[in-house]
Amino acid sequence: MDTAELVAIDVHTHAEVSKDGHGSLSPELFGASGEYFGSHDRPAIPQMAAYYRERKMAAVVFTVDAEHATGHPRISNEEIAESCAEHPDVLIPFASVDPWKGRAGAREARRLITEHGVRGFKFHPSIQGFDPNDRMAYPLYEVIEELGAVALFHTGQTGIGAGVPGGGGIRLRHSNPMLVDDVAVDFPHLRVILAHPSFPWQDEALAVATHKPHVYIDLSGWSPKYFPPQLVRYANTLLKDKVLFGSDYPVITPDRWLADFAKLDIKPEVRPKILKDNAARLLGLTPKELP
């Protein structure tokens, strides 16, 4: 499929179930997330491909490796990459490597990029239990920057652990986008996505994305009707080339997101940038080729 034929590129979707039925999170955290978002759907990757193909969309797919903090085994990055490779017309593989794995994680990242075609890496600081500017993660960032991949960081509050006593051990402070500002300084050529409207740090996220040339913002995890007004204002103006469509599928579907986005006061010339053009440029997609 030619990217020119795509309606949109969704830069934020989750592979939450492996081929053998293993989940990416513990049942307790899965349950809390389902209650928070009102969705317990857990499609396998072939189902995701069919869903996006039907809608003439492409999707970035990843899981979260948080083995150190949670003790829960991850879904294999290789499995996700290989499954996405079976659907190259619509799926774009990202990976996730727990920063606590140090240089072993950096070696894995290099292999995933060079041998499996992975285009980026998902970090969830609150679940993984680390500050993005912790030097232990820097060997991993070095590889990602060197090989031209993308680092996508969860920012703001999370529905995972919401309502569980103690939040399931998840500390929200790790996901303040100002911590990623240090990463953008120390790795000036690293392409970074700040995921989600960054409640309660929306202004911080806007400041970082405005100040650092390679920092983008995705709009996943929230219905557009709840976007704070400053986010909409910046998306229409200063950040019109750096804001990306993301749904957070399967907890929020692109159908719901796009229906609400259509009602948002976004300039007509900015809409295609947010829905597809900015992501296509960031991910290096050409009009005649998907990864």
The C-alpha atoms of residue 275 and residue 210 are separated, in whole angstroms, by 19
Q: In the chain, pLDDT over 90 holds for what percent of residues?
A: 81
Around Cβ 23, how many Cβ atoms within 10 Å? 16
Rounded distance between C-alpha atoms, residue 122 and residue 150, angstroms: 9
Residue 288: inside a domain, yes or no?
no
Query: Residue 146, Cβ neighbours under 10 Å: how many?
Result: 14
In a domain, 290, yes or no: no
User: What is the longest distance spanned by two Cα atoms in the chain?
Assistant: 50
Residue 56 lies in a domain: yes
Using pLDDT thresholds of 50, 70 and 90, give the confidence band for residue 28.
Answer: low
Question: CA nearest 3: which of 291, 210, 229?
Answer: 291
**Average pLDDT of span 3-21:** 86
| pLDDT score, position 288 | 46
Residue 51 is predicted with a pLDDT of: 97
- CA Rg value for the chain: 17
Higher pLDDT, 26 or 238: 238
Q: Residue 73's pLDDT is what?
A: 87
Q: Domain for residue 136, yes or no?
A: yes
User: Which range is least confidently modeled, 19-23, 74-78, 113-117, 132-136?
Assistant: 19-23
Confidence of residue 168 (pLDDT cuts 50, 70, 90): confident
Please determine, for residue 23, whether its predicted confidence score (pLDDT) is greater than 80: no
Q: How many residues does the chain have?
A: 291
SS (H, E, C) 173-223: HHHCCHHHHHHHHHCCCCEEEEECCCCCCHHHHHHHHHHCCCEEEECCCCC
Per-residue burial over 99-127, b if 16 or more Cβ lie within 10 Å, else e, is bbbeeebbebbbebbeebebbbbbbbbbb
Residue 175 predicted with pLDDT over 90: yes
Domain assignment present for residue 264? The answer is yes
What's the structural domain count of the chain? 1
How open is the CA angle 276-152-232, to the nearest 5 degrees?
55
How much is the mean pLDDT over the chain?
92
Question: Is 179 within the bounds of a domain?
Answer: yes
To the nearest 10°, the Cα dihedral for 20, 26, 28, 29?
A: -110
Global pTM reads 0.92
163 lies in some domain: yes
Tell me the pLDDT tens digit for each residue of 89-144.
999 999 999 999 999 999 999 999 999 999 999 999 999 999 999 999 999 999 99
The answer to whether residues 7 and 275 touch, using CB atoms and an 8 Å cutoff, is yes
What is residue 161's predicted lDDT score, i.e. its pLDDT?
Answer: 78
Say if residue 35's pLDDT is above 80: no
Task: Pick the more confident residue, 22 or 188.
Answer: 188
Range of the domain at 175: 3-283
CATH number, domain at 249?
3.20.20.140
